[in-house]
A and B are shown apart, each in its own frame.
Chain A
Amino acid sequence: RKEVEQDPGPFNVPEGATVAFNCTYSNSASQSFFWYRQDCRKEPKLLMSVYSSGNEDGRFTAQLNRASQYISLLIRDSKLSDSATYLCVVSSTYSGAGSYQLTFGKGTKLSVIP
């Protein structure tokens, strides 16, 4: 089982649509959770952290369910500029090293169409 699994995508949605991304992780000891955004041929950039209570940043809402090891990202009123690949990222210890590392999902590509 892959450590972090995401919807394979791609998602093609019209402007103004609501789009949801889902992610599951296998390491129950994972500590921190994030959504990153990666534009074509660019580096990943933090979109938002994900907290157990759920959190919102403008049109973006992230939720975490630790019991089912599930993370989600909802984008409302999608814009052309939201077109990118969205990466689900989990922070956990690697091989008992004692320090936390990021594990990335493969990403889900979103294209917002005029």
Chain B
Amino acid sequence: NAGVTQTPKFRVLKTGQSMTLLCAQDMNHEYMYWYRQDPGMGLRLIHYSVGEGTTAKGEVPDGYNVSRLKKQNFLLGLESAAPSQTSVYFCASKGRQGGTYGYTFGSGTRLTVV
């Protein structure tokens, strides 16, 4: 099915552990984004990419790294997880949908850091 797939869907980490969240899209979209959503907050942009091999910082980039080695994949890494990174992470891609640009979101990764 066409769309954005995030793995894993759930994860519990201990403080200081590392992990990588994978986002894959099969729509040939150039733009990809990582957001986090916390209770009582809107989605906040962590990092984004405007094409293969490019990445840029968003609103809340600290503690995260990203890579876009292949156009279809956008990886979000946590090198040393902290409880403040407990959140729901959403990946999105943007591309042409008809005559305009549209965003497609993945179903999210629920991360708990204990």
Q: Is A28 an interface residue (CB 8 A)?
A: no
Q: Tell me the residues in window 37-69 of chain B with beta carbons closer than 8 Å to chain A beta carbons.
A: 40-45, 48, 50, 56, 58-59
A residues near B42, Cβ cutoff 8 Å:
4, 87, 103-107
Give Cα A41–Cα B102 distance, bound, in whole angstroms: 22
Q: How many A-B residue pairs have CB under 8 A?
A: 46
In the complex, the answer to whether A44 meets B31 with C-beta atoms within 8 Å is no
Looking at the assembled complex, report how far the CB atom of B109 sits from the nearest CB atom of chain A, in whole angstroms. 11
In the complex, the answer to whether A45 meets B56 with C-beta atoms within 8 Å is no
Give chain B's interface secondary structure class: strand
Q: Tell me the residues in window 81-114 of chain A with beta carbons closer than 8 Å to chain B beta carbons.
A: 87, 94, 97, 99, 101-107
Residue of A nearest to B107 (CB): A43
Interface residues on A, range: 10 to 19
Looking at the assembled complex, report how far the CB atom of A16 sits from the nearest CB atom of chain B, in whole angstroms. 30
In the complex, the answer to whether A102 meets B40 with C-beta atoms within 8 Å is no
Residue of B nearest to A104 (CB): B42
Known A105-B42, A106-B40, A107-B42; contact A99-B31, beta-carbon cutoff 8 A:
yes
Query: Could you write out 22 A-B pairs with CB less than 8 Å apart?
Result: A4-B42, A41-B108, A42-B107, A42-B108, A43-B106, A44-B43, A44-B105, A46-B102, A87-B43, A94-B58, A97-B56, A99-B48, A99-B50, A102-B33, A102-B45, A102-B92, A102-B103, A103-B42, A103-B45, A104-B35, A104-B42, A105-B42
